[in-house]
Amino acid sequence: MTRYDSTAYGALILRLALGAMFLSHALLKIFVFTSAGTVGYFDSLGVPGVLAYAVIVGELAGGVLLIAGFQTRVMSLALLPILIGSIVLVHGGNGWMFSAKGGGWEYPVFLIVASIAQAFLGDGAYAVRRPNFERSAS
């Protein structure tokens, strides 16, 4: 295995893990907390409830696109505001450890770092890519 191959497979593993995490959080908001419950929670935080729908759609679409490997660099960075918002609005005051009551900011910060690393690494192996004519121009 060449260095490129190992990097490509490492990017694939990270991409799949991040995609699954975002997808699972969107599905949690839909099927466990329900969309209406998530809207109510956002309202309770003083955040416009309509943003809950944007977060759900962002996590859902972002997770699927990351798993597929489509526009991985862009998606990794586009999802950062959701993670930053979770720290600022929810987990920031609960301490460092995610095992703290209400969940600390340890896990969201790790996901931010992982997302930035994914943006540097790119798509990795087995990714849906842009057509060849677009890649050859860059």
Render 70-106 in DSSP notation, one character per residue.
Answer: SSHHHHHHHTHHHHHHHIIIIIGGG-S-TTSTT--SH
CB 121 within 8 A of CB 10: yes
Q: How many CB atoms lie within 10 A of CB 3?
A: 7
Residue 19 lies in domain? 3-137
How many domains does one find in the chain?
1
pLDDT in tens, 45-90: 999 999 999 999 999 999 999 999 999 999 999 999 999 999 999 9
As a dihedral over the C-alpha atoms of residue 6, residue 11, residue 16, residue 18, rounded to 10 degrees, the angle is: 140
CB contact set of 85 (below 8 Å; sequence gap of 6+) = 55
* Per-residue pLDDT tens digits for 2-32: 666 899 999 999 999 999 999 999 999 999 9
Q: Would you give the DSSP letter of residue 46? A: T
